[in-house]
Structure 1
Amino acid sequence: MGKTLVIGAGGVSHAAVHKMAMNPEIFTEITLASRTKSKCDDIAKSVKERVGVTIRTEALDAMDVAATVALIRDTGADILVNLALPYQDLKLMDACLEAGCHYLDTANYEPEDEAKFEYHWQWAYREKFEKAGLTAILGSGFDPGVTSVFATWLKKHKLGSIRQIDVLDANGGDNGQAFATNFNPEINLREVLADAKHWEGGEWKVTPAMTHKVEFDFPGVGPKNMYLMYHEELESLSTHFPEIERARFWMTFGDEYIKHAKVLENVGMTRIDPVMHNGVEIIPIQFLKTLLPDPGGLAALTKGKACIGDIATGEAKDGTGEQTWYIYNICDHEECYREVGSQAVSYTTGVPAMIGAAQVLKGNWARPGVWNMEQLDPDDFMDMLNTQGLPWHVRELDGPVEF
């Protein structure tokens, strides 16, 4: 159905490109580009061996708008799938506007010199994409992404409105490392160590990072400590579903992860401002990234399962009063590795990126403008989750969560 240009060659790209290649009736031609072409070549080799599909690879600096425009035009790409760093979102959106190409990403823009996760920079592009007749899809990963589609599916099929929603993310995987992040270490640590923030009573409530802990029994994973933290879908959900009175995000962390992260923060290794080292200016968190294990390289070692989903409470569509529904996916690290050579965290982001791009190419979401996932029809996306490796489950709970 369309030609696709994927930017970025990390673990998420590895999963996404493999799944695109498994759906050649939708993704007719695939080009993978990154600053380091050898990483693209490694993914292309794996795709050829596993799926038998040849993909094109190119070297590209995603911050170079002119170079991206030239590559879009050279490939004839119908959609650009941005799986690079979130600092690069606006540059890639600019390139899509100039070249006449649809856009999709998995994480909202944030300035490189400030850990600030907000959508307003990208929402400001809405009129530009509308006038150009182009579609931009924001946050087509799992969280954000699938968690937002889950909410929309519940609102379409189960609940007339959503009064409160909790997004719960548990990774029960074990890779045997003393300390390792599940995705890009720089982005992971910036996110985890930021102040916790949730929406309640028409305003944002802010608390220090890692101070609000609750144990929850996750399907397929078991009891885990989860921590209140901020995630970008809270902003978009509370904006597009204004009836929401409370929206929170929770993620599980082991005690060893918390200990290491706090020590690294205390000694300054997670700083994002430049410092001088032996006469050379460095950014500590970027140096730390080079020391930590590459998450993509841990896929073969990772065992266990992940469980991500929403618990939402609101008025039932059938008029029977208030209901609470839990909708979630359980993903097995080892099964992901057998299929595409990725661990579950990369898989659960890469597969929804593929499905979101498919929705644009199939015409389901080809609406001019800039859209978050909860604003779009959920049904075909939900069907593809079931057929593309991320089957979901939904069940009614006895009542609202009490934590």
Structure 2
Amino acid sequence: MRVAILGVGGVGQVSACELIKSSHVKKLVLADISIGPAEELAVELRRETDIEIEVKRVDARDISSVQAILNGIDVLLHIGLPENNFDVMKACLNTRTHYIDTASSGPQWLRKQLAWNDQFRAAGILGVMGLGCDPGFSNIAARYAVDQLDEVDAILIRDGDNSVVDYDGFCSYFSPQTAIQECLAKPNYWTAAKGEQYLPTLFANKEEFEFPEPIGWLDCYHVEHEEATTLGETIGRAKGCKYVDFKYALHPDFVNTLQVLRYLGLDSDEEIEVKGVRVAPRDVVVTSMPKPVDLAGKIHGYSSVGALVKGKKDNKRKDIYVYTIANHDEVFYKTEFQATIWQTGIPPVVAVDMIAEGQLTTTGCIPPELIDPIPFLTKLKARGMSWDVIEKTSPLLHML
């Protein structure tokens, strides 16, 4: 198996460090428009493995640039900016290379990516859209829970973190561009009656959600996310699911800062002229923020992502919560990464494992929940990313 990683930031580095542990990986290409970090990583990895490792400068916005590194490559992990997904997908189509990414630019763009299904199938290749932690693990956790129930009422994805960070300023534990974009987009949700819909206001429907200990109760806000785009139709509707949403635990200071950015227009990606130079306001904000990889060792607390599926089993009401939880300090001690990017970088590697071992043979473009959850979750745990299940049951009450 010959694998290329396009985008060697924090998540890409996590995936690279995991891939070299695989006996089936014979070659690894590290590609980025800025090759400095990739070259430093390559030096470190070559000390640990005999796998052939190459570093290539690639512009993900240029199809020919991406194609130039795909000769003989079996799988490409695109872990760069989601806005470049289509150019990278086109390069993979042209070279018949399996494609995996970790996020999309929003629900409408995810739907357009999945609409390439017939083209990917005709080329005999697989495209997995959004296989990080959430989306990604969250979708597969939801599928696992749905499979355990006879009927499903709701699928609720919840992301929470109780940590503090040694940084005095505005920061995000994952891609700042993505964090700003998705938190300031209209929140999406799905109902069986009307399909995918959008709320008119940001940070809507705040609720308290009890995450597994030692995190506990956190305030969660309704935020735009990929899971609500697909889960209802792919795995929910057949079992009677009526509702799907995603909520994210956000600190009040983070919410307030995002609201100020929106008020000032600093979340815009449309270029403006400043003293003779054209810049996108959001790029200025992002440039002033620390890179998520640089927060390693500075975050203290726990990160958890899970899918709560409510339904019925054997004529009893049953809630199944499938989740993963990680301690930032422990992850840093073991891997030198912070937990959020580590949790995002492991799932795409598991998909590579399954392709290499013949457990993921489908072609076309799919969301993560269409991957068989049992072998995936088994391999995920073998890679060191633990997950667990909480179940609650209650009898059905028949009113007289």
Same-fold call, TM > 0.5? yes
**Residue 55 in structure 1 maps to residue 48 in structure 2:** no
Give the distance between the partners of 1:47 and 1:384, measured in 2 at CA: 22
Q: Tell me whether 1:259 sits opposite 2:256 in the alignment.
A: yes
- The 2-side partners of 1:276 and 1:70 are apart by 35
Instruction: Give the SS at the match of 1:244.
Output: coil
Q: Is 1:199 the equivalent of 2:196?
A: no
For residues 274-289 of structure 1, the aligned pairs below 5 Å read 274-289=271-286
Corresponding residue SS for 1:300: coil
Matching residue of 1:380: 375
**Which of 171, 174, 178 is equivalent to 2:161?**
171
Residue 273 of structure 2 aligns to a residue in which SS? strand
Comparing 8-17 and 39-48, the one that deviates more: 39-48
Structure 2 residue aligned with 1:87 = 83
Tell me the TM-score normalized by structure 1: 0.92
Where does the alignment leave 5 or more consecutive residues of structure 1 unmatched? Answer: none
| Alpha-carbon distance in structure 1 between the residues aligned to 2:268 and 2:198 | 24
1:272 to 2:269 alignment = yes
CA shift, 1:324, in A, is: 1.1
Cross-structure match for 1:292: 289
Aligned amino acid, residue 155 of structure 2: I
Deviates more, 1:285-294 or 1:208-217: 208-217
Between the aligned partners of 1:201 and 1:66, the Cα distance in structure 2 is 42
Is 1:120 equivalent to 2:111 in the alignment?
Answer: yes
Kindly state the Cα deviation for residue 335 of structure 1 after the two structures are TM-superposed.
2.0
CA deviations on 1:307-350 (whole Å, 9 max, x unpaired) are 1101101232xx33331111111111122212322111101110
The structure 2 residue matched to 1:345, chosen from 340, 357, 360, is 340
TM-score (norm 2): 0.92
Of 302, 305, 309, the residue aligned with 1:308 is 305
Q: How does 1:3-402 map to 2 (within 5 A)?
A: 3-23=2-22, 25-48=23-46, 55-73=53-71, 76-108=72-104, 110=105, 117-156=108-147, 158-177=148-167, 178-203=169-194, 204-219=197-212, 220-241=214-235, 242=237, 243-316=240-313, 319-398=314-393
Contact 2:129 2:367 (C-alpha < 8 Å) held by counterparts:
yes
Q: Matched residues in 2 for 1:249 and 1:273: separation?
A: 27
Give 5+ residue unaligned stretches, structure 2: 396-400
Percent identical among aligned pairs is 24
CA distance in 1, matches of 2:329, 2:47: 19
**What's the RMSD between the two structures over aligned residues?**
1.8
User: Conserved in 2, the CA contact under 8 Å of 1:118 and 1:235?
Assistant: no
CA contact (8 A) 1:299 1:337 kept: yes
Secondary structure (helix, strand or coil) at the match of 2:221 reads: strand
1:120-151 Cα shifts (integer Å, max 9, x gaps): 21122111111111111111111111111112
Change (3 A) 1:172 1:42: farther
Contact 2:297-2:338 at 8 Å conserved across structures: yes
Count the aligned residue pairs: 388
Per mean C-alpha deviation after superposition, the further-off stretch among 175-184 and 199-208 is 199-208
In 1, the alpha carbon distance for the partners of 2:46 and 2:219 equals 40
The structure-2 alpha-carbon separation of the partners of 1:399 and 1:22, relative to structure 1 and needing over 3 Å to count, comes to farther
Distance 1:135 1:237, change over 3 A: same
State the one-letter code of the partner of 1:70: A
Asked whether the equivalents of residues 199 and 248 of structure 1 are also in contact (C-alpha less than 8 Å), the reply is: yes
Cα drift, residue 269 of structure 1? 1.3
